[in-house]
Amino acid sequence: MQFCNQKFKYEIMKAEKVKRMKIHSFADYAISLFLIASPWLFGMRIEEMESKIMITVGLGVLLNNFTTNHKFGLAKMFRIKTHYKIDLFFGWFLFVSPFLYGFFAATLLPHLLFGGLIFANTLFIKVPVKILSSQKFA
């Protein structure tokens, strides 16, 4: 009976992880497209550093998603763990870039918003699966 419970637990975790990976992947594509379009959406000047950072990070998130070894990746070069680390770096970089480059007085909110979205999207896939794996089944 113990084996059946372990197998059931594993199947639930696997299904949950696949579902969350799909959501994460679609969210990555959406976030990257919004990042690329954000200078026009938020009325930023294209030649300014804040616009270049948003577009570059958007292209980086898109490329990261294309090259990850998951169902929606095209090139399948990087493992999921590498994908998460790159996502966390992009989220951190967007979050701190207004302070690093000194344009926090001009456009702070879009960088904080998208940096937080990338962090939340990465934690969405990591944290709940670990919480689920620690639950006890009858």
Q: What is the pTM of this model?
A: 0.81
Nearest in space to 96 (alpha carbons), one of 112, 118, 84? 112
Give the distance from CA 108 to its chain's centroid. Answer: 20
| Domain coverage including residue 25 | 20-131
Q: Is residue 5 part of a domain?
A: no
Q: Is residue 35 part of a domain?
A: yes
pLDDT digits (tens, 9 = 90+) for 39-70: 999 888 889 999 999 999 999 999 999 999 87
Q: Is residue 1 part of a domain?
A: no
pLDDT digits (tens, 9 = 90+) for 81-121: 899 999 999 999 999 999 999 998 888 899 999 999 999 99
Angle between helices 2-41 and 49-66 (to 10 degrees): 150
Q: How many domains does the chain have?
A: 1
Q: Is residue 59 part of a domain?
A: yes
Q: Is residue 69 part of a domain?
A: yes
Q: Is residue 46 part of a domain?
A: yes
